[in-house]
Amino acid sequence: MQFTHAAGATPLDAQTVVGQPLDRIDGPLKVSGKARYSYESHETAPRAAYGWVVTAGIAKGRITRMDSCEAERAPGVLLVYTHRNVPRMTPTGRANLVAQLSGPEILQHGQAVAFVVAEGFEQARAAASLLNIEYERTPGRFDLEQALPSAVKPGDDPSAGNDRAADTSVGDFESAFRAAPFQIDARFTTPDQHPAMMEPQATTAQWDGDRLTLHTSHQMANWCAADVAAMVEVPVANVRVIAAYVGGGFGGKLRTYAEAVLSAFAARELRRPVKTALARHQVLNHTTRRAATIQRVRLGAAADGRLTALGHETWTGNLPGRSYYEGASRQSRTLYAAPNRMTAHRVSALDLPEAAAMRAPATATGQLAFEVALDELAEKLRIDPVQLRILNDSQHDPEMGPSRPYSGRKLVQCLREGALRFGWSRRSPLPAQQRDGRWLIGMGVASATHHHSVRRSSAAIRLDGQGRLTVQTSMTDIGTGSYTVLAQIAAEMLGVPMAHITVQLGDTLHPAGAGSIASIGAGSAGSSVYDGCQQLRDLLAQRAGFDPAAVRFEEGRIVGGRQSRTLGELAGPEGFRVLGAVEPGDLAERYAQAAFGAHFCEVGVDIDTGETRVRRMLGVFAAGRILNPKLARSQAIGAMVFGIGAALMEEAVVDKRHGYFVNHDMAEYLIPAHADVPAIEAIHLQDADDLASPIKAKGIGELGTCGSGAAVANAIYNATGVRVRDYPITLDKLLSGLPLRA
């Protein structure tokens, strides 16, 4: 099915199962410990050996000497790989550089330099400490600020129009900005951040002849299969990747890392399974992260608050030769109207661990700057920040004009509903005016947006003679609820009880699913399940002799007029199997497509210490049809917590002398805990969008992160009168500006 026109009326509109707050069908397996993650593949990997990845202790230079003799003689050791004896690898575009022991050159701290395999985990780890490695250091570039003079414009993606262009320009920004009676010219910085998912990267590799099975923690099973097949030089059809349960990803599991590739090599050589997991202290320097940014936001407005000039520039960095960059200015192309506009990106080469996508890549980072600058403008104009956002709403792509309207955009409704529910009218327009004992109290607001798209996806649907359904796709569930919502779609379409539906995910033996990336999973994989179920509806109606346009599916039966047949009876002993698929058409070119929301936050700041506490937070979102309100709320709240972390505490601290992240464990890379978020709520407005996907749903997973940190920052300013533009907003950045205790 190619998605080329509005979805129209569908069986999903009944919403007897879809749209209901059902529990996760995989929940009992997870809470009972029966859901097997990649490192726990005990039954499928008897006699497994254990691997340990040895990572570089310098950021830039080369290995001058590596003595592995003592490690090789250590108890239980089966194999030691270095760049001298590792099998030849074919590099791929998505596999991370650190997966390769390709030579003595060191390009980043945490790069894999050796791999030890032993009978037991402790033996492998102990033997790794016996490797004698000597390095020759060379100067590296570790400071984004110092690297600004060497920044260059990154390449454009010509297939994606202005959405992926490095720079855009509409009208005459510079002239309009100079002429504007009200101006904001503000500089913001955001630090490196890490996905910090619960499950580290882990793999169990096993060969059967020339066929490889990888149980691995990856968000995109088919990508991983292609990466590993190329690197170990076997046909991709010979590599099976299983990622049935993934303990979080947030973008950190889009690459294929050393533990997967080296485990595959070792398992082939040893002719036995090999299990490898990255240790927590390795993850933050070995794997990818969100890159730091320096941003300049310039806004010009007329006295009535309408934007006349909008400019957003971003400087960021990555390893030399990498095409990815944190495109933080892109989100400013879509949110607000302004006749004169400019966005730009520049990238510097840095010798830090590779930068790549992290939850709500670029959008979350950009809104940390832009939504705060807009608040500063509201104060200058003496206009309420909610009203200023409403005033500058646009129902079409602000850069493309009326020829590209939004398929659906309820930003104004989100702002108004949130303001009413949160009690925004009680906010003092003047900062540092409200107190609760020693706490300075303030409220902040920010808009949210995240792009939406449908991507190619497929799913097999099988109906057996007992009337049971099986849904199969390589789509992964990284904790978001994919198992449950795909079952709900099938149940709604075919009237089969949820208890009679089995969903099998994360296996490349199944049809290729969309994968877990960019909030596309439910909309894309769900549309392929919808298509397959529609095919089954037509087949069953035909076999029953009923008019397909006049049948009902309920309680495991097809009903036509006064007659009904069970689905199992019609399927017969052989059953039915269909392949559902979706491919994007040109709707994304004809219509701007995004989900929207509004964040409201109240904070307290201790007048003596500068300690900030989020007291309550509300997110209101319009993100197409909500397939399961319970799961959607959970995702939104989790995403909002991401924003709180970005505003207040998350920072991968760079040692600018030696080029590594100092706080490389979960004790020192700080993220919000339960005590940091006492009261947080998320609601979704009715917003079924028939131009967004065949099932009228949009992506929701990343939307809650976009803008939530800015709402916290704006609340801190309202509480204290201190504007901090250097994230995270820690108490040392507030102390000197706090008002004196009365």
180 within a domain of the structure (yes/no): no
344 within a domain of the structure (yes/no): yes
Mean pLDDT of all residues in the chain?
96
- Cis amide bond preceding 235, omega within 30: no
How many structural domains does the chain have?
Answer: 3
pLDDT in tens, 393-409: 999 999 999 999 999 99
Give yes or no: residues 302 and 411 share one domain: yes
Q: 225 pLDDT exceeds 70? A: yes
Q: In this structure, are residues 503 and 487 in contact, taking their beta carbons and an 8 Å threshold?
A: yes
Nearest by Cα to 261 from 100, 69, 75, 468: 100
161 within a domain of the structure (yes/no): no
Structural domain for 251, as ranges: 38-139+195-286
178 within a domain of the structure (yes/no): no
pLDDT in tens, 513-546: 999 999 999 999 999 999 999 999 999 999 999 9
- Residue 613 is predicted with a pLDDT of 97
Q: What is the mean pLDDT of residues 697-719?
A: 97
158 within a domain of the structure (yes/no): no
Give yes or no: residues 107 and 239 share one domain: yes
177 within a domain of the structure (yes/no): no
Q: 705 pLDDT exceeds 80? A: yes
Give yes or no: residues 321 and 300 share one domain: yes
Q: Residue 527 in 3-state DSSP?
A: helix
Measured CA to CA, the distance from residue 699 to residue 159 in angstroms comes to 22
Angle 448-449-451 from CA coordinates, rounded to 5°: 160
For a pLDDT cut of 70, what percent of the chain falls above it?
Answer: 97
Question: 40: which residues sit within 8 A by CB, 6+ positions away?
Answer: none
Measured CA to CA, the distance from residue 311 to residue 300 in angstroms comes to 9
- Residue 161 is predicted with a pLDDT of 61
Least confident of 28-42, 108-122, 566-580: 28-42
Give yes or no: residues 318 and 433 share one domain: yes
Task: Output the DSSP codes for 394-414.
Answer: -SB-TTT-TTSBBS---HHHH
117 within a domain of the structure (yes/no): yes
Q: 101 pLDDT exceeds 90? A: no
Question: Which of 588, 614, 649 finishes a domain?
Answer: 588
Question: Which of 588, 622, 639 finishes a domain?
Answer: 588
173 within a domain of the structure (yes/no): no
Alpha helices in 150-202, H assignment, sequence order:
173-179
**Would residue 156 be called left, alpha or beta, if left means φ above 0 and alpha means ψ between -120 and 50 degrees?**
beta
Give yes or no: residues 231 and 246 share one domain: yes
Give yes or no: residues 388 and 412 share one domain: yes
Confidence of residue 15 (pLDDT cuts 50, 70, 90): very high
Q: Distances in Å between the alpha carbon of 558 and those of 455, 547, 548, 579?
A: 31, 11, 10, 21
Question: Which of 238, 269, 286 finishes a domain?
Answer: 286
CATH number of the domain to which 96 belongs: 3.30.365.10
Give yes or no: residues 610 and 730 share one domain: yes
- Residue 163 is predicted with a pLDDT of 73
Give yes or no: residues 263 and 296 share one domain: no
- Residue 742 is predicted with a pLDDT of 66
Q: 99 pLDDT exceeds 60? A: no
Give yes or no: residues 80 and 222 share one domain: yes
- Residue 160 is predicted with a pLDDT of 57
Give yes or no: residues 217 and 89 share one domain: yes
pLDDT in tens, 180-205: 999 999 999 999 999 999 999 999 99
Which residue among 313, 650, 651, 702 is the active-site one? 702
- Which pair of tokens denotes residue 302? 């007329």
Catalytic residue flag (residue 702): yes
Give yes or no: residues 383 and 500 share one domain: no
Give yes or no: residues 561 and 655 share one domain: no
